[in-house]
Amino acid sequence: MADKVTIATVAAHANVSRQTVSNVLNTPHLVREETRERVREAIAALGYRANQAARLMRTGRSRLLAVRIEPTRDGINGSVLDRFLHGLTEAAAPAGYRILLYAAADDRAEIATYDDLLARYELDGFVLTSTHHGDVRTSWLAERGVPFVTFGRPWGAPDSHPWVDVDNAAGTAAATRHLREAGHRRIGFIGWPAGSGVGDERRSGWANTAGPDHADLDRATVDGVVEGEAAARDLLSISDPPTALVCASDSLAVGAYTVASPGVAIAGFDDTPVARVLGLTSVAQPLAEAAARCVDLLAGVLDGGTAPRPVLLEPSLVIRQSA
């Protein structure tokens, strides 16, 4: 076990006081050039790294960010979170932050976890995903002045906190436009029940692009493959049925794909591995970039004190043989 090298070790090695070393680290402009260099060499030679715990006790900053890891539901859309987490971890490191994971069964449990994490580990900030209307988590954090960013805009109170989001409506609009350009005139939509911000966005992108007479081509259901099957069967059995379907998720799209006859075009959302394997056209979110922007925003609040502006990213349509 290598001996612990502290600021005192460095000071001794460079023939200065502990304070000077600290100054080189935190306020280098206060230290004479020559001394600064000597200290820096000692730091490099000894491989010194400031101990976070000690630093935290003085500064109150842990350089730790927390994010929730959700249980994988049907796993199809689960890979989205996976890629987002990886992006967060990669973006946080160069900014001097680390990512702490926590699990929570529901919003209430999540708040209890915030409380615990804050009290014990003094986390610097949180990244929230899956935001929704009347989200109690954001108000809890905001009330206590805890820095956080959401991936997903604040539904309801506009811009009440920093957020990063993907333009969901633009995604389904692009899919719908692509289908129209392919000659489809009756384009249906399978989405989630109204009320979920993301779901409503995705529906509106389709509704605004599909054309005027689409009211009877809209179906709402909870997410899932079998649910997608049922909705597609229903939609395709009406008189003058749609020849193409836009779906709010790949799970729904997979279901629709399995029951639709080959002539019917299908587009999903999230560009999951399943879509890739099945050859399903799907809307891809720039997850790595979204994660990086979340870190940027949080780091801005924490380090710069800047009031960060919301970020809206454009999704892209990945075209495959299904549409």
Give the residue, chosen from 3, 49, 261, 307, that forms a contact with a second copy under the rule CB under 8 A: 49
> Is residue 19 within the footprint of DNA (CB under 7 A)?
yes
* Greatest extent of the chain over all pairs of C-alpha atoms, in Å: 88
7 binds, among DNA, a second copy, none (CB under 5 to 8 A by kind): DNA
Q: Nearest approach, Cβ of 299 to a second copy (angstroms)?
A: 17
> Is residue 78 within the footprint of a second copy (CB under 8 A)?
yes
> Is residue 123 within the footprint of DNA (CB under 7 A)?
no
Q: Where are the strands (E) in the chain, listed by range? A: 64-68, 98-102, 125-128, 148-151, 163-166, 187-191, 218-220, 244-247, 265-269, 281-284, 311-313, 316-318
> Is residue 94 within the footprint of a second copy (CB under 8 A)?
no
Give the residue, chosen from 85, 235, 266, 299, that forms a contact with a second copy under the rule CB under 8 A: 85
> Is residue 25 within the footprint of DNA (CB under 7 A)?
yes
DSSP notation for 157-207: STTSS-EEEE-HHHHHHHHHHHHHHTT---EEEEEPPTT-HHHHHHHHHHH
Q: In whole angstroms, how far apart are CA 280 and each of 205, 262, 277, 323?
A: 19, 12, 8, 7
20 binds, among DNA, a second copy, none (CB under 5 to 8 A by kind): DNA
74 binds, among a second copy, DNA, none (CB under 5 to 8 A by kind): a second copy
Q: For residue 153, give every residue at least 6 positions away whose Cβ sits within 8 Å of its Cβ, in sequence order, or none.
A: 131, 163, 165, 197, 310, 312
Residues of the shown chain interacting with a second copy in the complex, contacts defined by CB under 8 A: 1-2, 5, 47, 49-54, 56-57, 62, 64, 69-72, 74-76, 78-79, 81-83, 85-86, 88-90, 93, 98-103, 115-117, 119-122, 144-145, 225, 254, 272-274, 276-278
Residues of the shown chain interacting with DNA in the complex, contacts defined by CB under 7 A: 4, 6-8, 16-20, 22-23, 25-27, 30-36, 48-51, 54-55, 57-59
